[in-house]
Amino acid sequence: MIIKEIVKDTEIENIVGKIIDGKRISVEEGILLYKNADLSILGYLANLIRERKNGDKVYFNRNLHIEPTNQCVYACKFCSYYRKKGEEGWEFSREDMIRQVKEMGDQITEVHIVGGVHPKWDLHYYGELFQDIKAIRPDVHIKAFTAVEISYIAKRSKMNLREGLQALKDYGLDSIPGGGAEIFDEEIRQKVCPHKDTGEQWLELHKTAHELGIPTNATILYGHIESIEHRIDHFNRLRELQDQTGGFNVFIPLKYKMENNELSYLGEVSVVDDIKLYAMSRIFLDNFNHIKAYWPMIGKDISQLLLSFGVDDFDGTINDSTKIYSLAGAEDQSPSMNTANMVKMIEDVGRKAVERDSVYNILKEY
């Protein structure tokens, strides 16, 4: 096989052969491949796996992002979004948020709700918001709250995690996004978000959600002070949990962006580093069906490029409603795209656009 002829290193050749044969690679093999394989080899392998799982399909949905507040009890060093009590920020009322849903009408199939961890709002406050949304749009999918948000509002409501998750589900929660995973290694985590829940607590919450029939997403925050070893360890912990539960819908790499936060001195990793990270996530996470490029964060052009490096999902059309990455210096400062734009962006690189619902049921093929 030509790809094997390109590989000069015997160890790398053996790993490449395993992947081509559909076999799982170990943590040690993942680190070795990440550090030593040529980008073209990683691209070939990632695309091979991507096309075995999803062919030429690129998924997207029509969604609205609601960020209820940027007031937050935490002060993560990588975050450009949070504001402490007394600092200028925003707090949407439930009426404000319901108005946003009403304005979108039937243009959306999903409402995505994440924001700061507000010091006073509890589970019932958000639960009533879910009920109000479902009263307007009973068919809309509500994907809401990172693990740290759920952990906090459950405690405020005097519930344990399982009780809190079940209560949110009863109120109308359909799935959970993957934010807040950051990096699981505790030493690194203590340096970048020391007051946030631990990596093990994040994993436990998602495991509990899966046991309750609530699907979730998974993420990594990369490009700050973590190493390749930390990234592969992060992938491995997700892969192990997916083996147990099968409850993750998609994996979403999130790039550290440097504007307006305490880690700005680090700068940002290169596009080549981005591509390698996405490709390795597709190669290593063999039990994940989908890898997403979150275009408001990584940029439209790079998102298109990543369709050749393992990515098969572009998130949603969004309606200029997310500030989490624009405040950190994301490429797209007004993240909004209609369906026609999304389809064109996919078709321009020779892939097939597919509108999905929030759990990857196909709604329309273009």
CATH number assigned to the domain comprising residue 192: 3.20.20.70
Question: Among 105-119, 230-244, 342-356, which stretch is predicted with the lowest mean pLDDT?
Answer: 105-119
| CB neighbour list of residue 231: distance below 8 Å, 6 or more residues apart | 34, 183, 220, 222, 277, 280
Residue 155 lies in a domain: yes
Q: Is the dihedral of CA 314, 319, 320, 325 positive or negative?
A: negative
Cβ contacts of 156-165, under 8 Å, gap ≥ 24: 156/121, 156/122, 156/123, 157/122, 157/123, 157/124, 159/123, 161/204, 161/205, 161/208, 162/208, 162/212, 164/123, 165/205, 165/208, 165/209, 165/212, 165/214
Residue 318 lies in a domain: yes
The pLDDT of residue 78 is: 60
pLDDT over 90 (residue 21): yes
The pLDDT of residue 134 is: 97
Residue 315 lies in a domain: yes
Strands 110-113 and 141-144, sheet pairing? parallel
Residue 322 lies in a domain: yes
Share of the chain above pLDDT 90, in %: 69
| CB neighbour list of residue 238: distance below 8 Å, 6 or more residues apart | 218, 248, 251, 285, 288
pLDDT over 50 (residue 31): yes
What mean pLDDT is predicted for residues 205-231?
A: 97
Residue 109 lies in a domain: yes
Question: Among 38-52, 86-100, 207-221, 282-296, which stretch is predicted with the lowest mean pLDDT?
Answer: 86-100
> What band does 121 get if pLDDT is binned at 50, 70 and 90?
confident
Count the domains in the chain. 1
Give CA–CA dist 134/17, Å, rounded. Answer: 50
Give CA–CA dist 21/13, Å, rounded. Answer: 12
The upper half-sphere exposure of residue 179, i.e. CA atoms within 13 Å in the direction of its Cβ, equals: 20
176, 145 contact by CB (below 8 A): yes
Give CA–CA dist 118/93, Å, rounded. Answer: 12
Give CA–CA dist 263/256, Å, rounded. Answer: 9
pLDDT tens sequence across 227-264: 999 999 999 999 999 999 999 999 999 998 866 666 67
Residue 32 lies in a domain: no
Which one has a higher pLDDT value, 264 or 324? 264
Residue 225 lies in a domain: yes
The pLDDT of residue 325 is: 41
- Starting from the edge strand earliest in sequence, which strands make up the sheet with 110-113, in order? 63-66, 110-113, 141-144
Residue numbers of the domain that contains 213: 38-365
> What band does 5 get if pLDDT is binned at 50, 70 and 90?
low
pTM of the model: 0.90
> What band does 8 get if pLDDT is binned at 50, 70 and 90?
low
DSSP percent split of the chain into helix, strand, coil, nearest 5 = 45, 15, 40
Give CA–CA dist 177/166, Å, rounded. Answer: 16
pLDDT over 80 (residue 324): no
The pLDDT of residue 163 is: 97
The pLDDT of residue 79 is: 64
Element (H or E) spanning 58, and its range?
strand 57-61
Residue 9 lies in a domain: no
What mean pLDDT is predicted for residues 178-201?
A: 91
Give CA–CA dist 97/112, Å, rounded. Answer: 11
Q: Which position has the token pair 């002829």?
A: 5
